[in-house]
A and B are shown apart, each in its own frame.
Chain A
């Protein structure tokens, strides 16, 4: 098969459009993670993130996180217009590094919970939530 100049241009444009869209969103998710970890490596496991598999109403999605040995946990919603959700800092009187919240999700997406451990290392957990009705209005 031979490509004409026009085909090649069209292909290039299509590829650029495809690549451009998600990378813009992913970049802000990565920024949000890097802002918390300072670019440190994140290990999987050691964090429990409980979220419903299917959320009918994206306006209130109950989630809970816990990470034994963590001093702080950041929650990131990868598919929201702004991936920031919350950062939980545990004080000396927190009985366990766990908390439950209700969050808004714009669409079906992955949620990340990243925990900063007492020794300065980072751990993460992810959960996919299917959202029937998005929770960001419009």
Chain B
């Protein structure tokens, strides 16, 4: 696992049924592109988050394949529909095989 990885997510705590909400996510990750070289001119190996997914109660909201051209600390903003109360599950897939998972519950009122 890469060090210092910390996901941050902004989801409203409640919404009305069928409402559209904006979700903002940011994960601290160095996203080493594999293009850079260190002081000795040796290439620094690639280490990025290559996939991000968001699901709500098991149904997909968004699934993004990411390449080295995504900036350090990947920020993603998108819109989701909330049909009922439930839980958003966010997953980031690292090149090294680790998966960072975070969830947010939302109530419908």
Contacts and interface: CB of A to CB of B under 8 A. Distances in A.
Interface residues of chain A: helix, strand, loop or mixed (majority)? strand
Interface stretch (A17-25, A77-85, A119-127): A77-85
Contacts, number: 106
A85 B71 CA distance: 10
Contacts of B13: none
B81 to A, nearest CB: 4
B68 interface: yes
Interface stretch (B2-10, B53-61, B91-99): B53-61
A59 B93 CA distance: 21
B62 A59 contact: no
Band of interface residues on A: 20 to 34
Contacts of B1: none
Interface string A77-112: 100111011111111111110111111110000000
B69 A104 contact: yes
Contact of B81 (A93, A99, A136): A93
Contact of A96 (B59, B76, B79): B79
Contact of A99 (B33, B68, B72, B76): B76
Contacts of A138: 35-37
B66 A94 contact: no
9 contacts: A61-B71, A85-B70, A86-B65, A88-B62, A93-B60, A93-B81, A100-B78, A102-B70, A104-B68
